[in-house]
């Protein structure tokens, strides 16, 4: 895996660390965030949306990322997009 560290929550203390990486090989964002409250996770799981089954598959997770990290996420999106554009 070719992970590019993009950034960490600027308000991170010693223990909590929402983090963003760009996986340049698989052209994906990799995010570490806070776990949702049981209520938020249940609300997400209960949503019925087109193309989205009710529930959260065992292979997926709901995470929370602070709004102050939007620029970091944009930077990761740009890195992944540039890597994908290099494909034949």
Prediction pTM value = 0.85
- pLDDT single digits (tens) 8-53: 998 887 777 899 999 999 999 999 999 999 999 999 999 998 988 8
Phi-psi region of 51 (alpha: psi -120 to 50; beta: other; left: phi over 0): left
């Amino acid at each position: 895996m070719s992970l590019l560290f993009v950034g960490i929550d600027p308000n991170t203390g010693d223990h909590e660390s929402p983090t963003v990486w760009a996986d340049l090989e698989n052209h994906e964002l990799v995010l570490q965030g806070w776990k949702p409250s049981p209520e938020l996770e249940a609300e997400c799981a209960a949503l019925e949306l087109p193309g989205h089954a009710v529930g959260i598959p065992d292979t997926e997770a709901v995470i929370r990322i602070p709004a102050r990290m939007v620029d970091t996420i944009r930077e990761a999106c740009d890195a992944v997009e540039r890597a994908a554009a290099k494909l034949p």
